[in-house]
Structure 1
């Protein structure tokens, strides 16, 4: 990497993610790159991340975080001055997402009267899919007849898939739960679903929320870093206490039982994405940052 940087002689080196940040700032200094900027995507509190960041912070001229919460936590963990940190949120292609057509529900064995709760993401401890399943069971148990048409769809794969599959088989709601695995048509599925549930224990700024909001899909998200910046409770979506399946079930019921309000929240969220989180806005902010001396 040092040789490549010496040959290309960039004015600025911009890296993203922990390993690339460490390697990039060391190689960049050795190669004589004038300005080095490190991108921080997640507020990783593990010492194995924070200490290498602390030990090499003097090699970085500036940091750019994906959210205000990530910026704040990373600054505190690594002892970074406020004037060395900027925040530039992720962007999505809002106009392109508008063009995606809803997936024909029969492809996933659903019908037009089903109400689909979508959980899209990696099946890992971070995303807490077991919490979602537990909350779904609690929701249905409050009124099995009323919620007979309610479905839970997991889209994604990961280390918890086998565990989740076993839990589904043992669940009294097993006929209403589907694990579809990784799919390339997630945006089409969003257009056919009734709500997105994100139960993550930690996030930077989750793209899946931005994509769902741009697609007009109501969002129910955990009360954690990142999610709170995208979901203003009862304004652009709904928030529940992270790790509390009972509270999640309660919020899901409120979303299902108040369709007019839920639609209004989704509309407000879509407008917010169009105004604040477009790719054009994101690119413009990075362009301004990179042009700074």
Structure 2
């Protein structure tokens, strides 16, 4: 029997959550599982092309802003047509469509908590908590990525422990691996010499807080000629913030040592050229980009939010700083520039941690057990 899983998402574009779905679909045994994806809004065909299986279908409900009752009807019709064995929704917006999955008689209904957004950084919005509590009887099992998410679902939403699994994201340590700067797809102008290259990858959105990194970098360059002459900054990703960040760096006279190329499909060939990976987010679940950076042998500077403390071991694989704390971030950036000779060893520690604790195989095996356990329960 092949288990048909329907992944229900807000959209399918570049992002950590979506990247995790790509990895899961590509790695699950096609003899055991087949997949469909339903996007509440729309999807990016180029991103969908990262799925290597030819039998995966993707659908868009084209949900309008606000309450769009028609999107619920379209979702119901799709689910009745597809007849999946499992409906796996992710995050709050998609959770509301689990009622549709119940009405469409989908046997197994799973929901994933992947963290919070700028409008609800701590997950304490009373309206959202009430909504999650109302949907609690409909959802048969919850999957969260971090221990923080587990505590939240148990203590705030009231999910019993027996209906909850923690499955940490995994990283493909063969695809993401250390390499020399010569092999990296970074511009030659940045890799020339011994510059310490600070880099980040992610949606250019307020919640990812790349603004803080740019502000800290500019301030350090203005304060220290040593830092100015011996560092570079790379920000991979696209979004509304990109033009503003580019202009800010240009006005500061730093455009020549900063690279903001937008979205890239060759991240695995760019990351190894970094010296240090920086993630200044205001909220995170378990960051795929941190895991990818660790697998590439990079030290990590990350804000102390969400699952980041579960990934980064201070002074061993990187450093943590209080979210939004510009002086502390500046201190860590300068520390890395001044102790550049120590960075490779911290990077090696990060690579070892990625291999031993956060392998893609472990993640895929955990999801496989959860999907099959649900089907076996139905058959029993």
Normalised to the residue count of structure 1, the TM-score between the two structures is: 0.89
The residue aligned with 2:131 is 52
2:94 paired with 1:20: yes
Residues 150 and 69 of structure 1: is their aligned pair in 2 closer, same or farther, counting only changes over 3 Å? same
Alignment partner of 1:34 is 2:107: yes
- Rounded to whole Å, the distance in 1 between the matches of 2:155 and 2:202 is 29
How many angstroms does 1:167 deviate by? 1.9
- Kept after mapping to 2: 8 A contact 1:218/1:265: yes
Secondary structure of 2:89's counterpart equals strand
In 1, Cα distance between equivalents of 2:80 and 2:209: 44
Displacement, 1:52?
2.5
Mapped partners of 1:165, 1:77: distance in 2: 40
1:128 is matched with 209
Q: Which of residues 150, 159, 164 is equivalent to 1:85?
A: 164
Assess, with a 3 A threshold, how the Cα gap between structure 1 residues 74 and 108 changes in structure 2: closer, same or farther: farther
| Aligned partners of 1:138 and 1:246 also within 8 Å | no
Alpha carbons of structure 1 residues 147 and 162: separation in structure 2 relative to 1, 3 Å: closer
Contact 2:246-2:255 at 8 Å conserved across structures: no
Structure 1 Cα separation of the partners of residues 350 and 190 of structure 2: 29
Residue 225 of structure 1 is matched in structure 2 by 306
Could you report, residue by residue, the CA deviation over 1:102-141 in whole angstroms, capped at 9, with x for unpaired residues? 3254456542333211122111111112211121123334
Are 1:191 and 2:265 an aligned pair?
no
Which of 319, 323, 326 is 1:242 aligned to? 323
Measure, in 1, the Cα distance between the counterparts of 2:256 and 2:78. 55
Q: Shift of residue 96 of structure 1?
A: 1.9
Q: Is the 8 A contact 1:13 1:33 kept in 2?
A: yes
Mapped partners of 2:367, 2:186: distance in 1: 39
Question: 1:7, CA displacement in angstroms?
Answer: 5.6
The two structures, once aligned, show a CA RMSD in angstroms of: 2.4
Provide the residue aligned with 1:257 in structure 2.
338
User: What's the CA shift string for 1:229-258, capped at 9, x where partnerless?
Assistant: 111111221111211111011111222222
Task: For residue 226 of structure 1, report the CA deviation from its aligned partner.
Answer: 1.5
Deviation for aligned residue 1:27: 2.2
- TM-score normalized by structure 2? 0.70
CA distance in 2, matches of 1:146, 1:71: 41
Aligned to 1:73: 152
Unaligned runs of 5+ in 2: 1-74
Q: Provide the rounded CA distance (Å) in 2 between the counterparts of 1:107 and 1:259.
A: 20
The 3 A distance-change label for structure 1 pair 129 and 287 is same
- CA distance, structure 1, for counterparts of residue 84 and residue 337 of structure 2: 53
Question: How is 1:131-280 mapped onto 2 (pairs within 5 angstroms)?
Answer: 131-145=212-226, 147-171=228-252, 173-280=254-361
